[in-house]
């Protein structure tokens, strides 16, 4: 723990800021594809908090590293499902011929 505290917390603090930024994006953006992007920013922030706080003197703790890798894979799987749902919904709307020019109102 000889790293000066100001520097040691730099990455986890960046992660916290990313979580807040992504959350704001998720709430204020209306299109679901943009919300999906915002969710990925939140995820990246959480991983940076987890990994950044595992920073030791020489190495970073492999335990949070492994959790982060698992988290990244889960998050890409969910992003793919979300993207597929958004496109299929647009296809259905187009097929139904209604409101195809209006993005769906996605309240948080």
Partner 1 sequence: MSPLDLLVAAPLAFMVASLVVGRGGRWLILAASPAMLALSAWLVALPPDAAHLVGDWELPLGILLRADGVARLLVPATSLCFVAVGLYAWHEFSPKSGRETARAHTFWPLLYLMWGGSNAGYLTTDLFNLYVTIEMVSLAAVAMAAMGSLAAGLQYFLIALVGSLAYLLGVALLAAHYDTVDATLLAIHARPDLPTLLAITVMTAGLLVKTALFPLHGWLPPAHAAAPAPASALLSAVVVKLGFVIILRLWFEAFAEVVRPAAMHLLGGMGALAILYGSIQAIRQERLKSLVAYSTVAQLGYLFLAFPLISNAPNPAEPWAAVLVHAVAHMLAKAAMFLAAGLMLKAVAGERISDLAGLARAMPLSVTAFALAAISLTGLPPSGGFTAKFLLLHAAIEQGSVVYAAVLVIGGLLGAVYLFRPLSVACSGSAAPVVKAEAPLRVAAPLALAALAVALGFAGMMLIELSSLSAPPAAAGPLPAEPGR
Partner 2 sequence: MTSAFELILCLMILGTACVALFMRDFLAAVAFFVVFGNLMGLAWLTLGAVNVALAEIAIGAGVTGVLLVLSRSRLLALGEEISCGPAKPWLRLGAAAACSVFTAVLAAAVLSIAPDDGLAPVIDGLMPLIGVENPVTGVLLAFRAYDTLLESFVLLGALVAIWSLAAPAAWPRAPAALRMTDPAALNVAGSFGRLLLPVALVMAAYLVWVGSDDPGGAFQGGTVLAGGFLFAAMGGAIGLPRSDNSALRWSLVAGPLVFLAIGLAGAALGRFLAYPEGTAKALIVTIEYSLALSIGVTLALLVAGPPATTETGL
**Angle (nearest 5°) at CA 65 between 4 and 63:** 90
List the interface residues with partner 2, window 86-105 (CB under 8 A).
Answer: 86-88, 90-91, 93-94, 100-101, 103
Run of H or E residues at 19:
helix 10-28
26 close to 41: Cβ distance less than 8 angstroms: no
Tell me: does residue 100 bind partner 1 (CB under 8 A).
no
Minimum distance, C-beta of residue 10 to partner 2, in the bound complex (Å) = 5
41 to 80: interface string for partner 1, x by CB under 8 A: -xx--xx-xx--xx--------xx--x--xx--x--xx--
- Residues near 89 by beta carbon (within 8 Å), at least 6 away in sequence: 104
Q: Which of 3, 17, 69, 85 binds partner 1 (CB under 8 A)?
A: 85
């Amino acid at each position: 723990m000889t790293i000066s505290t100001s520097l040691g917390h730099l990455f986890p603090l960046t992660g916290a800021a990313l979580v807040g930024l992504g959350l704001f994006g998720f709430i204020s953006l209306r299109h679901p594809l943009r919300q999906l992007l915002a969710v990925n920013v939140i995820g990246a922030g959480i991983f940076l908090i987890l990994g950044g706080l595992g920073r030791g003197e020489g190495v970073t703790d492999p335990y949070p590293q492994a959790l982060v890798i698992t988290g990244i894979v889960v998050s890409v799987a969910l992003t793919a499902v979300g993207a597929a749902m958004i496109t299929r919904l647009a296809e259905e709307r187009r097929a139904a011929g209604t409101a195809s020019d209006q993005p769906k109102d996605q309240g948080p």
